[in-house]
Every structure is written in structure tokens, then in C-alpha cells.
Amino acid sequence: MKKSTSKTMSPMGRRQFLKSSGGVALFIGASGLLPNLLSCTDTKGVQRELTKHDVTAWVRITEDGQITIYNPAAEMGQGSMTSLPVVFAEEMDADWSKVHVEFSPQEADMYGSPGWQPGTKLMFTVGSRTTNSYYSVMRKAGAQARYVLLHSAAAHWQVPVTELTTGPSAVIHEKSGQQIGYGALVPYLTMPETLPGFSETGLKDPKDFRLIGSPIPRTEIPEKVDGRALFAIDLRLPDMVYGVLERGPLHGASPTLTNEEDILAMEGVLKIVPFDYAIGVVANTLEAALSAKKALAIQWSDAQAKGFNSQEIYPVYAQMASAPQKGKTVNELGDMDRAWRTAAKTYEADFKNDYVYHAQMEPLNAVVQVAQDGQTAEVWVGSQQGPDTKLGIPGLLGIPHEAVKVHLQYLGGGFGRRSMNDFVLECGSLAQAMAPKPVKLVWTRQDDVTYGTFRPLTLQRLKASTDAQGNLTGFSHCVVGDGGNLVASGARNDHYAIPNQWVEWREASHGIRLKHWRSVGHGPNKFAIEALLDEVALDQGVDPIALRRKLMVNAPRALATLEKVAEISDWNAPLTEGRAKGVAFVEHGSLGTGVCEISVDRTSGTIKVHRFWIALDAGVVIQPDNVTAQMEGGVIMGISSVLKEQITVVDGQVQQRNYDDYQLLRMQEVPDSIETVILPSAEHPEGVGETATPMVAGAIANAFLRLTGKRLRHLPFTPERVLAALNS
Amino acid sequence: MATYSLNINGTSHEVDVAPGTSLLWVLREHLGLTGTKYGCGIAQCGTCTIHVDGNPVRACVVPVDTMAKGQQIKTIEGLSEKGDHPVQQAWITAQAPQCGYCQSGQIMQAVALLETNPNPSREEIKSYMNGVLCRCGTYLRILKAIEMAKEQTTKNS
């Protein structure tokens, strides 16, 4: 492996390197010292650290050859604790067996990936952006670490650096036959005068990858099978107390507590902390806090949601979709109105979806400790982080960013819910009231459901037009619902060659808390798009795969996933009696086409998914088995939400409470198999966490249409709705 | 408050808690055995599954008062010394966990299954495991892991 040292490197001086790290520079001692945070304004201190230690901030090497790599992303089961360090280790040429992974400090200046705006940095594990946004960051940082090692060895041996190469965790000088391990090099490490900022071409040739793309077990799995893995809810600190909140029956309702004295007299209760929308109780044990929560007598104000009935809103949404004035344009291509007027045939259908809940297995919680003087704080939390890596605590307490230390823990599921830090702020307020005692805030499951933040309820009005030959000439998609991008994402059709397209959002608002839910608007929107395509296919007498093949004429990567899934699912083979297959395509960064095989119990109305196949193009794949796991999990979560999950609201109040009335898919309901084929690609990696889930609704509805000739257009496909469709 | 003596993972523990406190809070918050997780509090998710005299039990609905009669309580921490119980090894080989939060409960349920039925069919596994939820959707890998552990156990015996 050869690296260019001239054209591809833009020299970056020490000063510049520091500047790019913003207000705080972090240096990591090469000899096992703890991370050392220094203010950049302390120039003398910075100089001292620079001469004393050896960078980079992403890695720590000790003389025994052990290498610690820092993962900047949340680990919620998607595998960042392995994938990002693997990318770093690849470019550093580290011996993976010597690598240990820890979370990095939560400092975006140092550890962020490119943010939404050019020149900004972000630590935010959302939108399946982790591997996509950190791939180049980790490669360059790994290459810089290797550069430091190479130059230190060159200085140590007094040979030109161009004569050196690296093997797993060793610098090699072939000419003299010398070799030195990275650990042995530690005493000789020096910081080069300049650190190059590597461009793509200065990095490893992908054909030389040893780690990327190979089957590497996930680093954190052993501690997840013996109870050692720490989630924030597992934290126990000396002198820690427990907090709970009672929140209103209507989202945003304000409380008036009428039995404060009784509560304060309860055994173990330490303090009552009022919030605008809740009453907080702190007690010396969790059970005491929960007993007090139950005993609270609270009068609740009204709130916007009062009077709202979720299952009665669809006719209103349908009227809104029919109103002459258009909503906010999301996408416009060609002239849809003209395509509609001049069509040989037109199609129109409304699709609906009810609210769904995240149901991450670890209920929301956090531990916060505020110092006695209120000037510093520590946070232990499972968070998908955020634009403010200190999760709002500095603002809450009125203290500087650097006065808050966040200890990121494993997340017992995220799915978008932990990208909102309402629970961290709640815990911060309790901890402020209890300073300097650390407070553990726990949401009960009932809190988590009833005060949840849901994927919005929506109606999609879709229209399609065809010419006399049956070609799709126009496609229009009107989304009605609350939440902007939460309802509009995934409504575009960039991979289908339909010359006239129109996407718009018409806004509703009900005062129900909403949030990104795995794949966001893609779930309902891809369902509507893919289902309407199959309705067109059925009417035109065209095979659903053939219809999509024609539409993907300008999208070869998408088409390859379609062809591959048709092959592995044996699409054209005769079917078992009583079964049918359905197909759906999804783009969510990565491109994937899914096929399912289903049967229907016509007495109970239960749909059973027997098998699922996915062909995926995700660009370069770091960990193939982990991508497969994401497809499996995505399909299971998809089936769960499509067949079972439903939040309903009556007079503004969420009707579900726990897993008994918010049912998730269980072991006995899983398909026999989920098969994934990952297509080889040298393109930049794309996210895979949200590509499978939105395939499921369309694939099932399309299989159902082929099996029964009936249409399912309202998520979830509960037995009642399936029976209604069968009897229609 | 009352004092209870509990036999957990072969060791006797004394706790001083309010009567009626769930065994789950005692294990997690009073004794620091946090491998057993809280998920629902109403025995619907199985995340808090432990063994009482070898039987799988949802700790969230067991009042501590009922556990002070010398029953043998086993948690994930007591399953093996080095995390190398055949079921745990199979879990690693299958790369079963994603977020990992439900997996202690899944593993405890699976161990109880194989202890009572060393050679379960796929349908028997599904039925026995049906009470433990996994939101990440790792069910197929859990099935695979149990089938691998079953073969390992059968081979060893």
C-alpha cells in the first residue's frame, strides 16, 4: 500500500489543527494518560501538551500495543461501537485484536461529523447518518494517526519516511528489514510539524481493505449477554436519589397539585418539583418515588388536544386534501396538472396511517448531578445526542457548555425517541433542585406510552396518470398531517422515471406530541406510493416487477436491487396455495427492494408473513453481518407496526398504556426467514437502519392485493381492517 | 421498612425495604444487580426475567415479601462466572443482540427452556420465548442461538 505525500495532502500546521478543534483541544497521551481537556485560550498549556503528548484525539496507544479508539456516535444496537472504529483502524492499519473501543467525549468541535450547514459539525445519531457522515472523518483521522506513527518511526530510525510502510500495528522498513510495533513506538512518538488533511486519494485503496467488509464481531456484544453492559437506567451513584414525574392526560396540560403536604409526609419523599406540564417527585428510593407519584392529586388544565379524536379525523383530512388551494410544495417535476388532464387513464386513492409509538425497550431515563454551587453538572444518559451535545443542560442551568460533562451510555433502543432530550432536561431540573445529590429520573412504561412522541397520523392522497400505452406519465402525492418533514419525508420518487410529479404537504395540528420514528415519513409515504403502483399494475395487467423495471430505467443501482430480489425470491415461481408475494422499493440513503410472501386467515383476518427477501445497495459496507441484522430488525419492526401497532386518541387522551394494549410483534409471529443480499459497491456508504422498515407495508399490501384482489389502504392492517377489506 | 433475606446467585443478601417492593427494584436499585432490566412493570415484556428455583419469573411483579423463604434466585449475573454459559456463547456466535436491553431476559428464558426441554422443536422454542419482547427485532437470531445452544448441549451430554 502506497501513500502519496505530495499532491493529496494539504498541510495543516499545528496552529490550524488547534483552530479547527474549536474552543477546547483534547490531547490524548500516547502512554496511557487519561484524556486531557485544555482550553485553546490557554496557549501556553496547549504548547506544553503538544510537546508532551502525541495526538490524535481519536486514539490512545499504550506501550503494550493496546489501542483505544473513540466512537463519537450513540450505540443503540445499530453497531456504531464497531463500525466507526473499524473504519479508523483500517486507515491506521491497526491490529484489530488489540483494539478497545470507548465512547468519545461529547464535543462536536472535535468529534462531530459534517453538520446540516457547511462548515458546521454535529454529533447526532439520527437519520441513518452515522456511517455515511463519519466514513470520511474516520478514514482521515485514522490516516493521520498512521502518519504520526510513520513519521515517528522515520525519525527514530533516521530513514526517509517514503521508505516506510505499515502492516497490522507495525511500521516496516523493508530496506533494512526493521519492523517496530505501534506499542513499541510509543516512547519515540513525536508530533510532526504539520499534519496533512488527507483527501480521498491519499487514503487506502479499497481493494487493500483488511477490516472493512470483513466479518468482524461487534465489540459490545459480550457485555450484552452477561448483564455487564451499562445503560443509563443501570447507573447507581453514591448518595443518589430517585425522581419521577406525573404528566398530564392531555399533552401540555398544566398541573395544580392539591395534596402537596400529604405527599411530602410520605415515607422517603424528599421534594416536590413542579413543571409547567408535570409534577416531579424526588424520593430516596425508586419505590417511594413511584408510590408518591400514584398518590398525587392533581387538577389538570385543558390543552390543545382536548376534543381531538384520532380515528374521526380522516374525513377532515380527506376534505383538506380536496380543498382547491394547494399546500406547501415538497417536490415539483414537469406539469402534473397537464399530465392528469391529458391522461388516457387516471388512478386515485387515499391511504391512511394511525399514530405509532417508539416502544424502545428501555424506558426513558437519565442521571444528572449538579454541583452544590450549581456551576458544573454531569449527565449520564442514553441519548442520540443533538445539535447541543450537552443536551440542553448548560442552558437549563445557565452555565457554560464546558461546565457540563456528558457520559454517554448504551441506548436500550432509540428509533428516534432518544433524539429528543425532554427527559434529560427533566432530570436536570430535578438535579438542580437536589444539588449536589445525583438524581436518577425514570419514566415508567405508562409514562413512556401516554406521554410519548408519535409518528404522526396522516392521510396520503395519491394520483397517477398513464398514457394510452400504459406508461406512467404523472404521479401526485398530497400528504395531510401534523409535523412538516415528519410526514413529508420519503414522498418523492427520484428513482422512478415519471416525467410529471407533484408532492405537497397540507398542515394539520392537534397538540399531540410527535417525533421522528424509524424511517420517519418514509413508512407511510412509501406504503402509499408502492401500493398505488401495484393498483396500476393490476389494472394494466402488468407484473409489479415489470412495471418497476420500466420505471427504474434511469436508476441502474435501484434496478439492480429489483432484479436481484426478484431472483432470490424466485418471483416468477409458482406459489404455494393460499400464498402470494408482494414487492416494494425504498430509498433511504441506501437503496433496497423487498419481497414478502404472505397468507391470510380469512376467518380471523390475520395476515402471516412467511418469508422476506431484500436486495440492498448501501455503497461500501463496513460490516456485512451487521447490515444484514439491520435488515432483519427493520423488517421485524416493519411487520410489527404494519400489522399491530396503533396509538389512538379519544378526547385528546392517548388510549394505550403499556405493552398489553400496545402490542408488538412477538416470537411466534416472526417470518420463517429474512434473507438479505448486499450488492457489491465501491460508492460512499449509505445508511441502512431505515431502509427495510418502510418496505414492509407496501410489500404486504401488494401481496394481499395479488392474493385477494382487495386493497389495504389504512395502517395498521389489523384483523378488523383485513376482514373489512375481504368483505368489501 | 422490613428486612428480608434473599438467596441470590448462591449468596445470601439482606435488604431493608418497604414491604411489597418488587423484586426487580430490590435486585437493581438496592443490590446493584442491574443486568435484570425494567421494561413494563406488568409482566408483559419479559425483560426482567430471572429464575426462581429454576423457573423463569418476571421479577417486576414479584413482591420481595414472597421471596424470603429460601428460594434460589438466579439472575443473569449468576448464570456463569465468565459469561460463557453455552447459551451466552451461542448468543455471541449468532451476534444476536442489537441494543441489548432485552437480552438478559431472553437469555434467562432460553436457559430455562433448555433446562426443562433440552431438545425443543422450533415451534416449542417460539412458544416458550413468546413472552419476551425485542423491539430491535432480533427474534430470528435468538432462535438461531437457541438452536445452536441446543445442539451444543446435546453434544456435551
| Closest chain B C-alpha to A361 CA, distance in angstroms | 6
| β-pair partners for A714 | A352
Query: How many Å lie between the alpha carbon of A234 and the closest alpha carbon of chain B?
Result: 6
Phi, psi angles (nearest 5°) of residue A579: -125, 160
Residue A51 has pLDDT above 50, yes or no: no
Residue appearing with cell numbers 388532464: A341
Chain A from 24 to 83: CB within 8 A of any B CB: 76-79
Arithmetic mean of pLDDT, A104-114: 86
Q: Which of B15, B16, B36, B40 to mutate to test the interface with A (most CBs of A within 10 A)?
A: B40
Average pLDDT over residues A192-219: 87
Whether A280 and A324 share a structural domain: no
Question: What mean pLDDT is predicted for residues A187-207?
Answer: 79
Query: Which residues face A336 on adjacent strands?
Result: none
In a domain, A448, yes or no: no
Closest CB to B95: pick one of A221, A411, A658. A221
Checking if the pLDDT of A615 tops 50, the result is yes
| Helix, coil or strand: residue A340 | helix
| Reported pTM | 0.94
pLDDT at residue A54 greater than cutoff 70: no
3-state SS record for A600-642: EECCCCEEEEEEEEEEEECCCCCCHHHHHHHHHHHHHHHHHHH
Q: What is the pLDDT of residue A502?
A: 98
Residues 6+ apart with CB under 8 A from A282: A241, A242, A243, A269, A270, A271, A272, A273, A289, A430, A433, A434, A439
**Residue with grid cell 427493520, as numbered in its chain:** A634
* pLDDT tops 50 at residue A292: yes
Q: Which residues of B touch A288 (CB under 8 A)?
A: 18
> Is A360 in the B-facing interface, judged by CB distances under 8 Å?
yes
Question: Within this chain, do residues A701 and A622 fall inside the same structural domain, yes or no?
Answer: yes
Size of interface A-B (CB pairs under 8 A): 184
Phi and psi at B66, nearest 5°, equal -85, 0
* In-domain check, residue A226: no
Model pLDDT, residue A109 = 80
Q: Which of B83, B130, B139 sits opposite A225 (nearest CB)?
A: B83
pLDDT digits (tens, 9 = 90+) for A693-722: 999 999 999 999 999 999 999 999 999 999
Q: Per-residue pLDDT for A330 more than 70?
A: yes
Whether A224 maps to a domain, the answer reads: no
The answer to whether residue A12 scores a pLDDT higher than 60 is no
Domain assignments of chain B as residue spans, ordered by start: 2-78, 86-156
Least confident piece of the model among A5-14, A455-464, A632-641, B143-152 = A5-14
Q: Out of A632, A635, A668, name the one closest to residue B130 (CB).
A: A668
- Looking at the predicted structure, is the pLDDT value of residue A16 above 50? no
**Residue A53 predicted with pLDDT over 50:** no
**Residue whose cell numbers read 416472526:** A670
Distance from CA of A251 to the nearest CA of B (A): 21
In a domain, A1, yes or no: no
Residue in B closest to A413 by C-alpha? B99
Chain B nearest C-alpha distance from A145 (Å): 30
Nearest to A667 among B107, B136, B139 (CB): B139
Asked if B44 lies within 8 A of A660 by C-beta distance, the reply is yes
Same domain, A254 and A143: no
What per-residue confidence (pLDDT) applies to A570?
Answer: 98
- Confidence class of residue A59 from pLDDT cuts 50, 70 and 90? confident
* A272 lies in the same domain as A336: no
Q: Hey, are the CB atoms on A221 and B34 less than 8 Å from each other?
A: no
In a domain, A4, yes or no: no
CA of B71, closest CA in chain A: separation in Å? 22
Element containing residue B52 per DSSP (H, E): strand B49-52
| Structural domain includes residue A469 | yes
- Mutation for testing the B interface, residue in A82, A214, A225 having most B CBs under 10 Å: A225
The mean pLDDT value for A153-174 works out to 97
**What phi and psi values does residue A442 have, to the nearest 5 degrees?**
-125, 125
Instruction: Examine the domain organization and report whether A170 and A284 are in the same domain.
Output: no
Strand segments, DSSP code E, in A275-386 are: 278-283, 298-300, 328-333, 345-353, 365-370, 377-381, 385-386
A339 & A424 share domain: no
Of the three residues A160, A187, A214, the one that is the final residue of a domain is A214
CA distance B77 to chain A (A): 6
Note the pLDDT of residue A63: 83
* Residue A194, pLDDT score: 67
Average pLDDT over residues A113-141: 92
Q: Which domain holds residue A323?
A: 310-356+454-726
Same domain, A295 and A331: no
Q: What is the pLDDT of residue A34?
A: 29
Spell out which residues of chain A touch residue B100, defining contact as CB-CB under 8 Å: 77, 220-221, 224, 229, 410, 412
Across chain B, mean pLDDT equals: 97
Contact B139 A444 (CB under 8 A): no
pLDDT number for residue A42: 52
Residue A494 lies in a domain: yes
Residue of A356, A361, A688 to mutate for B, most B C-beta atoms under 10 A: A361
pLDDT over 60 (residue A293) = yes
Interface touch A673/B140, C-beta < 8 Å:
yes
The answer to whether residue A36 scores a pLDDT higher than 70 is: no
> What distance lies between CA A460 and its chain's CA centroid?
24
pLDDT at A1 over 50: no
Q: Which class for A178: exposed (0-12), middle (13-18), buried (19 or more C-beta within 10 A)? A: middle
What Cα–Cα distance (Å) separates residue A644 from each residue in A312, A359, A587, A636, A663? 19, 13, 24, 12, 6
What mean pLDDT do residues A330-346 have?
98
- A14 and A48: one domain? yes
Identify the band that residue A19 occupies on the pLDDT scale cut at 50, 70 and 90. Answer: very low
Q: Above 50 in pLDDT, residue A160?
A: yes
Statement: residue A646 has pLDDT above 70: yes
The verdict on residue A220 lying in a domain is no
Which residues does B85 contact at the CB level (< 8 Å), separation at least 6? B79, B107, B111
d(Cα A654, Cα A648) in Å, to the nearest integer? 6
- Flag if B40 and A445 touch (Cβ within 8 Å): yes
* Boundary (domain end) residue, out of A442, A471, A498: A442
Best mutation target among A667, A669, A670 (most B Cβ atoms within 10 Å) is: A667
| Closest chain B residue to the Cα of A234, Cα to Cα | B34
Instruction: Report whether pLDDT(A204) > 60.
Output: yes
Of B25, B91, B100, the CB nearest to A229: B100
Residues of A whose CB is below 8 A from B75: 227
Q: Which residues of B touch A228 (CB under 8 A)?
A: 35, 83
Domain total of chain A? 3
Average pLDDT, chain A: 92
CATH number for position A37:
3.30.365.10
Q: Are residues A71 and A119 in the same domain?
A: yes
**Same domain (yes/no): A519, A565:** yes
Minimal Cα–Cα distance from B70 to chain A, Å?
24
Single out the residue in A182, A214, A246 at which a domain terminates: A214
Residue A235 Rama label (left phi>0; alpha psi -120 to 50; beta): beta
The pLDDT value given to residue A144: 85
- Distance separating alpha carbons of residues A47 and A278, to the nearest angstrom: 50
pLDDT digits (tens, 9 = 90+) for A548-587: 999 999 999 999 999 999 999 999 999 999 999 999 999 9
Compare CB distances from A226 to B41, B83, B99 and report the shortest one's residue: B83
Residues of chain B neighbouring A286 (CB-CB closer than 8 A): 25, 29
Residues A152 and A283 grouped into a single domain: no
Q: Nearest-CA distance from A97 to chain B in Å?
A: 17
pLDDT digits 0-9 by tens, B28-59: 999 999 999 999 999 999 999 999 999 999 99
Fold of B2-78: Ubiquitin-like (UB roll) (3.10.20)
CATH number for the domain whose boundaries are B86-156? 1.10.150.120
**Interface contact B37-A361, CB threshold 8 A:** yes
pLDDT at A333 over 90: yes
Whether residue A219 is predicted with pLDDT greater than 70 in this model: the reply is yes
Choice among A18-27, A378-387, A559-568, A676-685 with the minimum mean pLDDT:
A18-27
Instruction: Give A499-535 pLDDT, tens digit per residue.
Output: 999 999 999 999 999 999 999 999 999 999 999 999 9
Chain-chain contact of A667 with B132 (C-beta, under 8 angstroms): yes
Instruction: Output DSSP code: residue A402.
Output: G
Do the Cβ atoms of A659 and B107 come within 8 Å? Answer: no
Domain shared by A621 and A682, yes or no: yes
Residues of chain A positioned with their CB less than 8 A from the CB of B129: 667
pLDDT of residue A49: 53
Q: What is the pLDDT of residues A379-432, one digit of tens each?
A: 999 999 998 999 999 999 999 999 999 999 999 999 999 999 999 999 999 999
| A626 → chain B, closest CA residue | B95
Nearest CB neighbour to A637, from listed B36, B77, B137: B137
- Whether the pLDDT of residue A294 is over 60: the answer is yes
pLDDT of residue A107: 84
- Is the ipTM higher than 0.90? The answer is yes
